[in-house]
Amino acid sequence: MTETLIRVVLLVTEQSTLYLNLLLIFCLFFSACSNKIEPGSEAHIREVTLAIEDQRLLNAEDTPVDWLLHGRNYKEDRFSSLNQINKSNIDQLGLAWSIQLGTKRGIEASPLVVDGIMFFTGTWSVVYAVDVRKGEIIWIHDPGVPREYGEKACCDVVNRGVALYKGLVISASLDGRLFALDAATGKVVWEVITVDQKKAYTITGAPRVFDGKVAIGNGGGEYGVRGYVTAYDAMTGDELWRFYTVPGNPADGFENEAMEKAAETWTGEWWIMGGGGTCWDALVYDPVLDLLYIGVGNGSPWNREHRSPGGGDNLYLASIVALKPDTGEYVWHYQTTPGDTWDYTATQPIILADLEINSTDRKVLMQAPKNGFFYVLDRITGELISAEAYSYTNWATHIDSDTGRPVESEFARYLDANVTIAPGPGGAHNWHPMSYNPETGLVYIPVQQNFYTYGPHKDFSFDHDSRVWNLGTETDAEKPLIKDEKIPAKASKLVAWDPVNQKEKWNVLYQSTAGAGTLTTPDFVFQGTPEGLLVAYDSLTGEGLWSFDLKSGIIAPSVTYMVDGIQYLTIAVGWGGATGTSSLPLTEQVNPGTIYTFALGKKSKIPDFARKPKKQLVKLPVDASEAELEEGQTIFIKNCRACHWGEGNVPDLTYSTPEIFQIFHEIVGRGIFIGKGMPNYGDRYTEDEISNVKKYILSVAEERRTAQQ
């Protein structure tokens, strides 16, 4: 019996081998065979992207070869276990290729990669597909964002990336659309408008996919909007649910019990300016607990005295809210900054982890929101486990572990004085992704050390204008100034933070004030710098082990993945974002947007960027009265300063050429630079008023020249 069985097995095996051999021969001769699909071809892209379904995404943590989700896996920890590039060979890491993107504004995206096909976004929400093997663009999809939208974007015309699902590349545009592209061709499959485009909503965040759905939030808190997150069917774009983060006008009825409860924490007529609470970045899906955590933004306007004059916590501003991913139903919330009055968003990246704390395994989420405290929360209940300052803060002394609330400094709310507060509205940490390395137990936070003088804003009846920032925090010259001598100088830092013991392990200090995203692997933390370097630090000690000069300030995070057995590292470079529109990086010049990819043993050179001539302060005669200059200054502060208050990727106008001032009225009053993102103010200001703005700019240039002499 046994003998017969063995013989049968042998026969079958022999036949299988024969069959396989025949198949192999067939494959060699006929290119139609599936394993002969040319990498980078439509058929290849379709095959590898169609395979990105739920199980594959759930397993993303165990398949570091690809980078399939915004934060690499659903924990969004940006830890890759790939270790082909390691301490023993990092000195051989070199440039494999670079692609210039033809853009001049900020790039913040985390590229996604599947089998050597990379998808990412650049400025003005343009989507790119790139063949990593060749270092070539496969397709570009420009959603055609109307350039007037540049005015509604608080923090540059940036975008943080795409989501991949079953053959689709899903992305959102600055003007509030969410769209799905055929990953193989870049052609639009479906598109929905997710905002009221008459209002000042914008989208810069990356959509997140989970369980057949795709979720997206929006921004616009500075201009006056009401925040929310919407989930759509990932395959069709049909709307499934929407969760508002702040209550609307009670007279219209509340959408749900969560809004009814939230309304008890507001006073006055907050809904007129929208209330704020936009969710412009962190949306993190937790497949283990079946929850979706959303990071909620600041109040609108910033000053609570305007927004909710009787006080109150103003739920769910500056909170992390857990929702049921199927329905968008509220589950729990934790408010990091009750009654926010400083633009302390809690939209910053959220990382999920399992940590042993006091000998107990805890399912936690971690966030370093703008307010300067690092939070570890129990993500089952939303309960505070611990919070400590990760950067200098003076608005609150500490977080009370019993109440879970900050203990505010007496002067923090700037009610009757101008007060210098740290951190400022740029946040001790902003959108720049942090990463968590489970092997070192450290979180690598791009920290920004900054401060800002908030003022009580004397005019409490100020007009809300949805085309400009409405903050209500202007300093009042008649009030005293409270300064804190202990506030450190403006700078940025890479901080390695121990989340269990809530303390800093080491840091690297930079001169510039802007942060840049991080990535971690067993041996390294990779971070770009405003000085233009891509650096590999020792993940345990912070020692710099390798760097590459990319010669233009970096803000985006890098990603790593493997193609045909080779580990690659990719970073997109484009100076800009909240800090970069109005400040220069510490490099010789800002170079156009470029994506760089590195691998061991590669020796390509970075592009030879054209040298830009050194700029001179404009020198033109100014004949203006005090009253004209004052009017010009008022209009400038209200409309122009947010982008043009320094030399960044948007010009400092005092350095513009005399030719620009010859066509000043055409630019400002007739919109001839709309294509560059410069709005038309012709419907808002008269020719005389525009002329006064011009005189004001020229007089500032004159003052600066005198100061230089």
Residues catalogued as catalytic: 343
The 3-class SS string of 51-62 reads: CCCHHHHHCHHH
Q: Which tokens go with 51?
A: 């395979």
Minimum distance from CB of 343 to Ca ion (Å)? 5
Residues 349 and 366: beta-carbon distance below 8 Å: no
How far apart are the C-alpha atoms of 163 and 156, rounded to whole Å? 21
Nearer to Ca ion, 298 or 440 (CB): 298
For residue 636, give the DSSP letter.
I
Nearest distance, CB of residue 108 and Ca ion, angstroms: 15
519 Cβ partners below 8 Å, 6+ apart?
78, 80, 435, 525, 526, 527, 557, 558, 559, 560, 569
Kindly tell me which of 120 and 302 has the beta carbon lying closer to Ca ion.
302
CB of 222 to Ca ion, least distance (A): 5
Task: Provide the H-helix boundaries in 565-619.
Answer: 577-580
Of the candidates 374, 342, 500, the residue with the CA atom closest to the CA atom of residue 447:
374
Could you tell me which of 514, 345, 310 has the C-alpha nearest to residue 425? 345
Query: Sign of the CA dihedral 497, 501, 506, 511?
Result: positive
Q: How far apart are CA 630 and CA 312, in angstroms?
A: 37
- The size of the chain, in residues, is 709
CA-nearest of 134, 106, 124, 139 to 38 is 134
Which residue's CB is nearer to Ca ion, number 138 or number 283? 283
Pick between residue 430 and residue 591 the one whose CB is nearest to Ca ion. Answer: 430
With left for phi above 0 and alpha for psi between -120 and 50, is residue 485 left, alpha or beta?
Answer: alpha
CA nearest neighbour of 570 among 106, 183, 80, 140:
80
* Shortest Cβ 581–Ca ion spacing (Å): 14
Report, in Å, the least distance between residue 154 CB and Ca ion: 6
In the complex with Ca ion, the residue whose CB is nearer, 221 or 530, is 221
Which residues 6+ apart lie within 8 Å of 405 measured at CB?
338, 399
C-alpha closest to that of 580 among 699, 448, 708, 465: 448
Determine which helix (DSSP H) or strand (DSSP E) holds 187, and give its type and residue range.
Answer: none
CB of 366 to Ca ion, least distance (A): 21
In the bound state with Ca ion, the residue whose beta carbon lies nearer, of 115 and 343, is 343
Query: 243 — phi, psi (to 5°)?
Result: -115, 115
Q: Least distance (Å) from Ca ion to the CB of residue 431? A: 11
CB 150 → Ca ion: shortest distance, Å? 17
Q: Which is nearer to Ca ion, 77 or 343 (CB)?
A: 343
Q: Return the number of the residue (221 or 247) whose C-beta is nearest Ca ion.
A: 221
CB of residue 425 vs Ca ion: minimum separation in angstroms? Answer: 7
DSSP state of 631: H
Name the residue among 577, 539, 540, 586 with its Cα closest to residue 556. 577
CB of 389 to Ca ion, least distance (A): 21
Which CB sits closer to Ca ion, 221 or 585? 221
The two structure tokens encoding residue 261: 């409860």
Using the minimum distance from each CB to Ca ion, give the nearer residue, 143 or 295: 295
Contact set with Ca ion (CB under 5 A):
221, 298, 343
Residue 501 CB contacts under 8 Å (≥ 6 apart), including other chains: none
Q: Are 497 and 443 in contact (CB under 8 A)?
A: yes
Task: Identify the H or E element spanning 428.
Answer: none
Half-sphere exposure of 499 (CA within 13 A, CB side): 31
Number of neighbours of residue 480 by Cβ within 10 angstroms: 10
